[in-house]
Amino acid sequence: MAPRFGTDGIRGVAGLVLTPEVVVALGRAAARVLGTSEPFLVARDTRRSGPMLEAAVIAGICAEGGNVESYSILPTPGLANACRLHTAPGVMISASHNPFGDNGVKLFAQGGHKLRDEVEVNIGDVMLEMLSGAGSSLSGASVGDSVRAPLPVAGYVNHLVGAVSSDALAGLSVVVDCGNGAAFRAAPEALRLLGADVTVLNDSPDGMNINAGCGSTDPTELSQMVLELGAHAGLAFDGDADRVIAVDERGGIVDGDHMLAIFALDLMKQGRLTGDAIVTTVMANLGLRRALEPQGISVLETPVGDRHVLAAMEGHGSVLGGEQSGHVIFAEHCPTGDGPMAGILLLDAAARSGKPLSELTAVITKYPQQLRNVEVRDMDRLEAATGFWDEVRAATAELGNEGRVLVRPSGTESVVRVMVEAPTLPQAVAIVERLSVALSNALGAP
């Protein structure tokens, strides 16, 4: 069975699920559905399987008469920005924060925007047709061409540096964990050009060490180094650098919720927070809403996934959105999450405030949050599981306005995600345990 589109493109084990044959078919489908009037821009992260899958998607696009400009290794937001500048569609080969053995394909419409759901479905259907043998008869001059883009990293670095004043980060000492991913060149260079004193960790990708005990999925080393050096802050990126997790001068973690609160208040102070609202997902901590609403800032929620956040931002005319995981979208700068951009703007906000990062993050008080992935045998019975939903209602009543329960069935596996926020950690743990047992009893353990 060929892989299907998930929350953020298609992902799977490279060579087993995400095979060259699948990716050739996906490239052909993308060319047929999105059109070939403009060259496709293609980039990848640092995974070992990247060149193999890059070649496959380029072959598919060219087989349908499309032309390709290859950007080689570049962060996802760098590719999205190039697509915006050239009004071109794009293909990013990356599995983001996943282990190196996985890989994935993210598609961008012309201008660098994530695809609408119905377009993804269409491309997925055509991909299946391609895999069944519905090929192309193009040949000779009708076949597309592929060229290398000139200095792609330099263009992205210039974009990052141009977002703030030229000396915005002068005097700041910053530790950067590149996660051995796609930002290993661009992020340190941009920070240095803005005047920061930069110490770099995990910037030697070998194709297999991407996200391996480092980067945004594991900022332990970063936190330790910030404390050891007495740095002002640290920034950690995931494999394709569309997300960032920061560390304050005390070694404390600064996640997407913290950053959204800081950015929202800073933009409002400048009179630049359109509609006095931000967009985030249902996974955002209740503390974010509690911090912003008394300041007159509305918090609009969407399903999980930065493409949902972007769609809501466009619908409401919002300039700021993001996710707890560290995807932060500034409509002014990029049509997708941009880890290096968010990191630079965070440091800039801290520098302009004259306050340490830990003091800025104190604006939000996090509610203890517990997430449990419950494997079940019969997912189809979830809606009718009255005993389980009775427990959910009882827990919701128990928490009142000081907590919440969120139940999210997975779209790709027999797992139900149960998240509980409560005033205390023991209460959150107790409720999530109670609900997990009720869920297993109702739907059966695998």
Positions marked catalytic? 96
Q: What is the DSSP letter of 286?
A: H
Q: What is the DSSP letter of 6?
A: B
Give the containing element (helix H, strand E) for 420. strand 415-421
At 13, list the tokens.
Answer: 């084990």
Give the containing element (helix H, strand E) for 314. helix 306-316
Residue the block writes with tokens 């700068």: 333
Q: What are phi and psi of 196, to 5 degrees?
A: -75, 150
Rg, C-alpha atoms of the chain:
22
Return d(Cα 284, Cα 369) in angstroms, integer: 10
> Residue 368 contacts by C-beta under 8 Å, 6 or more apart in sequence?
421, 422, 423, 424, 425, 427, 428
Residue the block writes with tokens 């080689």: 72
Helix, strand, or coil (residue 82): helix
Of 101, 82, 102, 99, the C-alpha closest to 90 is: 82
Contact 285, 366 (CB under 8 A): yes
User: Can you spell out the DSSP letters for 342-406?
Assistant: HHHHHHHHHHHHTS-HHHHHTT--PPPEEEEEEE-S-GGGSTT-HHHHHHHHHHHHHHGGG-EEE
Contact 277, 331 (CB under 8 A): no
Contact 405, 395 (CB under 8 A): yes
Contact 255, 263 (CB under 8 A): no
Give the containing element (helix H, strand E) for 375. strand 369-375
Give the containing element (helix H, strand E) for 104. strand 102-108
Contact 404, 396 (CB under 8 A): yes
Dihedral-angle region of residue 427 (phi above 0 means left; psi in -120 to 50 means alpha; beta otherwise): alpha
At 114, list the tokens.
Answer: 């994530």
At 166, list the tokens.
Answer: 């030229």
Residue positions counted in the chain: 446
> Residue 266 contacts by C-beta under 8 Å, 6 or more apart in sequence?
349, 352, 353
Return d(Cα 81, Cα 112) in angstroms, integer: 6
Give the count of alpha carbons within 13 A of 76, CB side only: 33
